[in-house]
Structure 1
Amino acid sequence: MITVSITEKRFGDDRVLGPIAFEVAAGETVALVGPSGIGKSTLLRLVSGIDTDFTGQIHRPDAIAMVFQEPTLLPWRSALDNLTLLHPGLPRDRALAALDEVGLSGKDTLFPGQLSLGQQRRLALARAFAGQPDLLIMDEPFVSLDAAAADRMLTLTEALIARHQPATLFVTHDMAEATRLAHRTLTLETGPNGAQLAGTTKDRTT
């Protein structure tokens, strides 16, 4: 599904990513961990195609969805509009079903500012899965939530991934999250030529 072969990524004269190569199979969930500032989010931007300024090759599907650290919703649009505007042609009934799937039934007319942070995170998930992505990319999607809310979001995300079966690559600082969600965990560490993969840990079976 996804093949990543990066020779290097630079910001000016600084080489932030060195040689990095890995694959993510269809339906597989892979976690990416490492110390803050090492380049995990930069790597996600390359994989997603947001940043194309690098040396190497990345093969990815066309249908990609991203969930960021912050919900990145349209604050002046309703919950329903946040889905339908991103996915033109999405039928209203499917959009409402996507909201229901994440526990936001009956909140389609509310604006993001009228939702709790946890509900905003659920809306971001609904928006991502409404497009039926082949590749789901998540950048620390549970950060800043309290333990109980994070556990509920993990449970929801597990269920959505199991139901829709996208290839998933996500960054986390929490090894417990990686172990719970991922089939494999990739670790970035500082190398002589920028960040590189230190190794792979198998977390659970398919």
Structure 2
Amino acid sequence: MIRADIRSKSFGPLQVLKNIRFEVKQGECLAILGPSGVGKSTLLRLVAGIDKGFEGSIQRPERIAFVFQEPTLLPWRSAIDNLLLVHEGLSREAAQAMLVRTGIADKADVYPGQMSLGQQRRLALARAFVGQPELLILDEPFVSLDDTTADQMLDLTADLLRDVRPAALLVTHDKREADRLATRMLQLSGKPASLGPVPQTFSGGRAYQSGRK
């Protein structure tokens, strides 16, 4: 479902990625770990086709969903309209069913600004999965959540991945998230950055708001 061969990605004279090759099949979730600033989000933009300025090739399916670090919802539309407006032909019944599945059925007519961060993150997941994506890209979707909410979101995401079975690419620098969701993982490191195995000593670098290390 995804085949990436990125020989080089540069911003002006600065090369940030080199010799990155991987494949992700349907039903697999590849976690890419690495510290902040190493180029993980740049890699995701290339895979998604948002940034086309690189040397190499990427094969991807047509139906792609992207869950960003921030929920990136339409603030002037209700929760259910955030699903209906993004997915042409989606029935209101199917949209409501996904809101039920993600635990925010009672928020269908509520605007994102009236929802907690955890509820907004649930809505972002609902918007991504309701379209039955062939490729799902997750860019640190659990950042800034407290322990309890993060654990609930990880469980929900794992369930949705099992049901929908997209080829999934997860970027994080919390190895515990990768352990919960990924079928395999690689580490992005170096300058310019390339992919390699995750060291046994890798412990990540992010704590949730509550301070869990």
Identify whether the pair has TM-score above 0.5, normalized to the shorter chain. Answer: yes
Distance apart, 1:200 and its partner CA:
5.7
1:171 correspondence with 2:175:
no
Show the 5 A alignment for 1:100-139. Answer: 100-139=100-139
Instruction: Name 2:71's counterpart in structure 1.
Output: 71
Instruction: Name 1:59's counterpart in structure 2.
Output: 59
SS of the equivalent of 1:18 reads strand
Quick one: distance in 2 between partners of 1:82 and 1:148? Answer: 25
Contact 1:184 1:200 in 2 (8 A): no
1:195 correspondence with 2:193:
yes
Quick one: distance in 1 between partners of 2:101 and 2:52? Answer: 34
Quick one: distance in 2 between partners of 1:103 and 1:167? Answer: 24
Letter in 2 for 1:42: T
Instruction: Name 2:142's counterpart in structure 1.
Output: 142
Instruction: Name 2:2's counterpart in structure 1.
Output: 2
Letter in 1 for 2:197: G
Quick one: distance in 2 between partners of 1:136 and 1:111? Answer: 25
Letter in 2 for 1:47: V
1:40 correspondence with 2:37:
no
Quick one: distance in 1 between partners of 2:59 and 2:50? Answer: 14
SS of the equivalent of 2:108 reads coil
Extract unaligned runs of 5+ from structure 2: 200-213
Per the normalisation by structure 2, the TM-score is 0.92
CA RMSD, 1 decimal: 1.2
Distance apart, 1:103 and its partner CA:
0.5
Instruction: Name 1:204's counterpart in structure 2.
Output: none
SS of the equivalent of 1:162 reads helix
Quick one: distance in 2 between partners of 1:198 and 1:182? Answer: 16
Instruction: Name 2:202's counterpart in structure 1.
Output: none
CA-to-partner distance for each residue in 1:55-91, whole Å, 9 max, x for gaps? Answer: 0000000000000000000011000110011112111
Instruction: Name 1:26's counterpart in structure 2.
Output: 26
Quick one: distance in 1 between partners of 2:97 and 2:122? Answer: 13
Q: Could you list the runs of 4 or more consecutive aligned residues of structure 1 that deviate by over 6 angstroms after TM superposition? A: none
